[in-house]
Amino acid sequence: MKAKILLVAGIFLLVLFVAVNLSAKSTLFTLVYDMFNQVSIKPQETGSMNAFVVGAVSIDGSEIEDPNDRFSRIIKDVISKTATLNPIKPHAASLAEGKLKFNTYCAVCHGSSREINAEGFAKTKVNELGMIAPAVITLTPFFSDGYIYHKAKYGGAVMPPMGYAVAAEERWNIVNYIRELEKQK
Ligand code: HEC
């Protein structure tokens, strides 16, 4: 009985050994083994966990001070007397940075022109797919700088909060760039 078990175990190990050592990309074992060895950091393995670009990953969530109170922060900027003032002049560097950030984080939904689709939303791919973002520069002339600045941070009923992606100074640069975009026909 014992010998039989040993024989079976021996054959099993032999098959396993052959499977691993054959080049055979098609063997099931190699496949499973391959999938385990993905580019990843395994538990307890030291790796590059702390090598992310600073700010690339939100880890403290503090961009949204109070998720239930996103709108009062935006609304106070509607009245020009209480609106947050833009501390950054629209100099060339600010506009260049604003353009980069706007094109990266805003244009995907809002586009960067006044062009609209049949439903009246910005003519962008995501709107074709069901998003309902307005061609933002048709609206922004009616908003204070502070309003756009806070809107970018806190989002809206539909718009996602973008504060994780664009820091304070970057949002002012975006505002400056939007003011520049408004000048186009
Ligand atoms: C995922 C799509 C999406 C992205 C990305 C996005 N928005 Fe929006 N945005 C919307 C939608 C949808 C609305 C209209 C509904 C709402 O306010 O939630 C909107 C509305 C706005 C408005 C009009 C506010 C109002 O009260 O009418 C402004 C200004 C604005 N977005 C600025 C920005 C800026 C600046 C960025 C980039 C930092 C940005 N958005 C990124 C979807 C988006």
Tell me the CA distances in angstroms from 89 to 27, 82, 92, 98, one per residue in order.
Answer: 64, 20, 9, 12
Question: What is the tens place of the pLDDT at every residue in 103-131?
Answer: 999 999 999 999 999 999 999 999 999 99
- The closest residue, in CA terms, to atom 39 on ligand 1 is 106
Enclosing domain of residue 177: 68-182
As a whole number of angstroms, the distance between CA 136 and CA 143 comes to 11
Question: What is the tens place of the pLDDT at every residue in 2-13?
Answer: 888 888 888 888
- The closest residue, in CA terms, to atom 37 on ligand 1 is 106
Same domain? For 139 and 178 the reply is yes
Same domain? For 76 and 161 the reply is yes
Mutational test site, ligand 1, from 97, 104, 110, max ligand atoms within 8 Å of CB = 110
pLDDT of 37 higher than 80? no
Task: State the closest ligand 1 atom to the C-alpha of 106, by its place in the atom list counted from 1.
Answer: 37
Same domain? For 126 and 171 the reply is yes
Tokens representing 51? 């090598």
Same domain? For 82 and 126 the reply is yes
pTM of whole model > 0.95?
no
Domain CATH number, residue 84: 1.10.760.10
Number of domains in the chain: 2
Is the shortest distance between the CB of 167 and ligand 1 below 6 Å?
Answer: no
Same domain? For 104 and 152 the reply is yes
Same domain? For 129 and 172 the reply is yes
Please tell me which residue, 72 or 17, carries the higher pLDDT value.
Answer: 72
Same domain? For 95 and 45 the reply is no
Q: How confident is the model at residue 185 (pLDDT cuts 50, 70, 90)?
A: confident
- Tell me what pLDDT residue 71 has: 81
Is the shortest distance between the CB of 136 and ligand 1 below 6 Å?
Answer: yes
In a domain, 59, yes or no: no
